[in-house]
């Protein structure tokens, strides 16, 4: 069997079109657009490239976008003051602080200073709590797990009663996606197992999974024989395993691999996400969706 490919690049386009149409409609009816501020501290090339992509996507969707590029030397106090400025700005619905921050700044203090109703990354403890409660309490599901759930749903995979196994227990992927899949409601209602570095027999758990979500950051961790025939496999891992010269630009680029042995797994799974082009493109897409949601909550139209 050759698995159906769940392509994040295609699903991203579908969702961005839906968001753009909604933004246009709200602008016409209510005269407002979603406002997103991206706060970048320092000049790390990786952070610059992530922020640039977020800005480009926000502009494409017709959002108001403010870029706050601050020097590496900014004090914690000044950064907190900047966040408070945007907490008080009614035209801003989402505040995004690009991580990592310089060592002299306490990330936790900064993220906790963001108004939870503008925390479109969903990392504030209040939003983590809302996610745990589930249902109508949830405002901003964290973007990568929200993207994973959206892919599963849009691929037509049944989640109700399904055995979901999540490999990894990080706060940004493993724990939140496990929490989301176990909730009562559409795209969830699953029976969830979370496995990690201290799990005794990883293979036996993975073999049970109707939906296997892997977020470990270990290339090739999941072997083909661990996959139940017909399962849906979501490979979140993004691992740099080498470099090559790009045919398009002639520049050096990273060779990426997921956590699953893709070539062998696609012959056993029912559906599978590729790396790159799978979960990766979904994160920024869901950030845009959360920013639109924030505007709708503010306008009382959500």
Does the protein bind ligand NAD through residue 172 (CB under 6 A)? yes
Give the alpha-carbon dihedral of 202, 203, 205, 211, to 10 degrees.
110
For residues 278 and 15, give the distance between their C-alpha atoms in angstroms, rounded to a whole number: 14
> Would you call 235 a catalytic residue per the annotation?
no
Could you tell me the two tokens for 122?
């969903």
Say how many residues touch ligand NAD, by CB under 6 A: 23
**Which of 121, 210, 235, 261 is an active site residue?**
121
On whether the CB atoms of residues 62 and 20 are closer than 8 A, the answer is yes
Binding string to ligand NAD for residues 150 to 169, with x set by CB under 6 A, is what? -----------------xxx
Least CB distance from residue 1 to ligand NAD, whole Å? 26
Residue 276 binds to ligand NAD (criterion: CB under 6 A): no
* Residue in 33, 61, 114, 202 binding ligand NAD, rule: CB under 6 A: 202
The residue within the footprint of ligand NAD, chosen from 173, 181, 206, 286 (CB under 6 A), is 173
How far is residue 88's CA from residue 201's CA, in Å, rounded to a whole number?
50
Residue 54 bears catalytic tag: yes
**Pick from 71, 196, 225, 254: which binds ligand NAD (CB under 6 A)?**
196
Q: Taking CB under 6 A as the rule, does residue 149 contact ligand NAD?
A: no
Q: List the beta bridge partners of residue 264.
A: none
Question: Active site residue: 7, 24, 27, 54, which one?
Answer: 54
Note whether 58 binds ligand NAD by CB under 6 A. no
In the block, residue with structure tokens 């010269």: 245
Q: Per-residue DSSP letters for 253-287?
A: EEEEE-SB-HHHHTTT-SEE--SSSSSTTHHHHHH
* Between 86 and 123, CB nearer to ligand NAD: 123
Nearer CB in complex with ligand NAD: 19/79? 19
**Smallest separation, CB 94 to ligand NAD (Å):** 17
Buried residues in 6-29 as b, exposed as e (16+ CB within 10 A): bbbeebbeebbeebbebbeebeee
Give 77: exposed, middle or buried? Use CB within 10 Å, 0-12, 13-18, 19+.
exposed
Contact predicate 295/23, CB 8 Å: no
Report whether 270 contacts 230 (CB < 8 A).
yes
Of 145, 87, 132, nearest to 111 by C-alpha is 87
Query: Which DSSP letter does residue 79 get?
Result: H
Binds ligand NAD (CB under 6 A): choice among 6, 181, 206, 215: 215
Minimum distance of ligand NAD from residue 16's CB (angstroms): 16
With contacts defined by CB under 6 A, name the span among 30-38, 108-116, 204-212, 276-284 that binds ligand NAD: 276-284
| Footprint of ligand NAD (CB under 6 A) | 144, 167-170, 172-174, 196-197, 202, 215-218, 221, 236-239, 279-280, 283
Q: Catalytic residues, which ones?
A: 54, 98, 121
């Amino acid at each position: 069997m050759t698995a159906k490919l769940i392509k994040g690049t295609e699903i991203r386009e579908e969702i961005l079109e839906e968001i753009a149409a909604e933004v246009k409609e709200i602008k016409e009816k209510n005269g407002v657009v979603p406002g997103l501020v991206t706060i970048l501290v320092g000049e790390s090339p990786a952070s610059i490239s992530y922020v640039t992509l977020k800005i480009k996507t926000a502009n494409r969707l017709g959002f108001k976008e403010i870029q706050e590029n601050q020097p590496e030397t900014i004090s914690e106090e000044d950064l907190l003051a900047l966040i408070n400025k945007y907490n008080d700005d009614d035209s801003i619905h989402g505040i995004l602080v690009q991580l990592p921050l310089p060592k002299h700044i306490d990330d936790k203090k900064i993220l906790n200073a963001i108004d939870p109703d503008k925390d479109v990354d969903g990392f504030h403890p209040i939003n983590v709590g809302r996610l745990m409660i589930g249902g109508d309490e949830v405002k901003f599901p964290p973007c990568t797990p929200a993207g994973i759930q959206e892919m599963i749903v849009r691929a037509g995979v049944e989640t109700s009663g399904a055995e979901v196994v999540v490999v990894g227990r990080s706060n940004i992927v493993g724990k939140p996606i496990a929490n989301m899949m176990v909730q009562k409601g559409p795209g969830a209602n699953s029976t969830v197992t979370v496995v990690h570095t201290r799990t005794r027999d990883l293979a036996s758990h993975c073999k049970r999974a109707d939906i296997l979500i892997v977020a470990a950051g270990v290339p090739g961790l999941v072997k083909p024989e661990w996959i139940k025939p017909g399962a849906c496999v979501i490979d979140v891992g993004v691992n740099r395993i080498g470099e090559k010269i790009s045919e398009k630009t002639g520049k050096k680029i990273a060779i990426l691999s997921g956590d699953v042995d893709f070539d062998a797994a696609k012959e056993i799974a029912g559906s599978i996400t590729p790396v790159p082009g799978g979960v990766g493109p979904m994160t920024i897409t869901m950030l845009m969706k959360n920013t639109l949601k924030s505007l709708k909550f503010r306008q009382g139209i959500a």
